[in-house]
Each structure stands twice: as structure tokens, then as C-alpha cells.
Amino acid sequence: MNFLRRQLPLLITFAMGVVFACQYYVPHPVSELLLTTVTKWLQIIGGFALVLGITSLFHLHAGKIRRKEPGWGYSGVLYASMVGTILVGLGYSFSFQQWILGKETIDGVRTMFGWIYTFMMVPLQGTMFAILAFFIASAAYRSFRARSREAAVLLVAAVIVMLGRVPLGEYLVPISGDATQWIMNVLNASVRRAILIGISLGAIALSIKIIFGIERAYLGGGRE
């Protein structure tokens, strides 16, 4: 039993890791088919992972409602909107005489599910991200004061890019457009490249540790 609980998962990780690391170097139709198949499999398994996440969300808010914690009504709103969207998205539409099954439009006509997307999700998502502009600006005011040379450089770069991204900025400071292009395509690209190389080296090291069973945190703790 200990083998099934501890050694078997490590063995599966090792076998899968080695097989798919080698797959890249085998230019054969069978190898390509293996990659296509496993990619599809991972998408299917990912769907089950979503079930785990949603169940966890349900559990959390059900607890809040059961215990009548402060703000439990909002959990009810969350439940209602989630279940409502699912029912509308998967349910039967009498006006279209067919099952909606995630279709936002049918023959060019917007479904109720499409209505939820257009008039609820898009405004909510857009505004939620838009208000971050105010908080970023407020945080910037507090932290960007040019206390050191490095902070001054950061501030100047940020101002140039902000000016260069809008027509008014280019009108006021004509060089800001070109300067922004240069900062983004050359200076920013070089830093991103260096960071990407560093992250990649770390990811490879982590993958090797996982394949050889040195890193086991993904298996979780517990008595089993």
C-alpha cells in the first residue's frame, strides 16, 4: 500500500517527465501523435481541476451562509449569479427552440447568455480593472518621489511612456512617441530578455527536481 501511495506517483512523474522530455527530440509521426493526444488529455483533466476549484468556492460560501457570518448575503448573491449564469448558459431557450449550450449568439441574434456577457461581465470586468488606474496613480504619487537616482530614472521612464502612448502626449512632447518606442523595443526588451533567461533556468531546474523526485510538494502533505 505504501508503494501505491508514495512510490507510484513518483514513478509516474519520472516516467512521464522522461518520455515527454525525449518526445521533443523524436521527429516521428508517432511522437507527434503522442504530443497531440496528451495535450488533449491535459485539457480534459484541466476541466476536472475546475470542478475542484468551484467545489471549494461553493464550500467556502456555503459555510458563510450557514454560519450567518457578516456579509453572508453577498455569498447568496454570488451563488445566485453563478447558478443563474450556468442555467442560462446551458439551459433550453424557448425563443430559439433549442439548447443554448454556451452559445452567445444564434443566427446573429444575442442569446440570454450573450446578454449576460455583454451587459454584465464586460462592464464589471472593465470597470474593475479600470479603477486600478486610480490606485496605481495614488501609489505612484507616494512611492515615486525621486528620492534617489534610481527612483528618478524609473519616474522619467514612466512619464515618457505615458506621454508617448497618447496623442496629446505626442502633441505636447513630439519626441515622446519615438522615445517610448525605443524604451519599449530596446531597453525594456533587454531587461525582459534577461529576466526571461533567469526564469527559464529556474523553471528547468525545478522541472528536473520534480522529475527526479527531489521536489515533492505537488503531492501534498498529510498522513497518506
Partner 1 sequence: MPFETLLGAWVATGLTLFILTFLYKDNPLFKLAEHLYVGVSVGYTVVKTYDTVLVRLIYMPIAEQGEWSLLIPIGIGILMLARYFPKVAWLSRIAFAFIVGVGSGLAIPRIISSFILKQVEDTVRPLFYAVEGGGVTFTVDLMDPASNLNAVVLLIGVVSVLFYFFFSVEHTGPGRAVARTGILFLMIAFGAAFGYTVMARMSLLIGRLRDLIVFADPQYGRPSLWLLLTTIGLLILWTTRQTERSPDGS
Range 155-174, binding partner 1 (CB under 8 A): 155-162, 165-166
Decide if 208 contacts 18 (C-beta within 8 A): no
Q: By C-beta, is 67 or 196 nearer to partner 1?
A: 196
Q: Is 141 in the site for partner 1 (CB under 8 A)?
A: no
Binding of residue 30 to partner 1 (CB under 8 A) = no
Nearer CB in complex with partner 1: 89/97: 89
Beta bridge partners of 99: 92
Q: How far apart are CA 73 and CA 29, in angstroms?
A: 56
Does residue 82 bind partner 1 (CB under 8 A)?
yes
Judged by CB, which is closer to partner 1: 97, or 129? 129
Nearest distance from C-beta of residue 25 to partner 1, angstroms = 7
Indicate whether 36 belongs to the interface with partner 1 (CB under 8 A). Answer: no
At residue 141, what are phi and psi to the nearest 5 degrees?
A: -60, -40
Minimum distance, C-beta of residue 94 to partner 1, in the bound complex (Å): 15
Coil, helix or strand at residue 101: coil
Q: How far is the CB of 29 from partner 1 (least distance, A)?
A: 17
Nearest distance, CB of residue 57 and partner 1, angstroms: 7
Percentage helix, strand, coil, to 5, in the chain? 75, 5, 20
CB of 220 to partner 1, least distance (A): 7
Binder to partner 1 among 121, 146, 172, 214 (CB under 8 A)?
121
Q: Are 114 and 104 in contact (CB under 8 A)?
A: yes
Q: Does 201 bind partner 1 (CB under 8 A)?
A: yes
81 sits near partner 1 (criterion: CB under 8 A): yes
| Residue in 3, 4, 30, 94 binding partner 1, rule: CB under 8 A | 4
**What does the alpha-carbon distance between residue 102 and residue 114 come to, in Å, rounded to a whole number?**
9
Q: 81 is written with which cell numbers? A: 449569479
Q: Does 65 bind partner 1 (CB under 8 A)?
A: no
Given a contact cutoff of 8 angstroms between Cβ atoms, the answer to whether 100 and 112 are in contact is yes
Q: How far apart (Å, rounded) are the C-alpha atoms in residues 64 and 66?
A: 6
3-state DSSP assignment of residue 31: helix
Q: Is 52 in the site for partner 1 (CB under 8 A)?
A: yes
Query: Is residue 105 near partner 1 by the rule CB under 8 A?
Result: no
Element (H or E) spanning 109, and its range? Answer: strand 109-110
Task: Specify the 3-state DSSP secondary structure of 214.
Answer: coil
Smallest separation (angstroms) from partner 1 to the CB of 28: 15
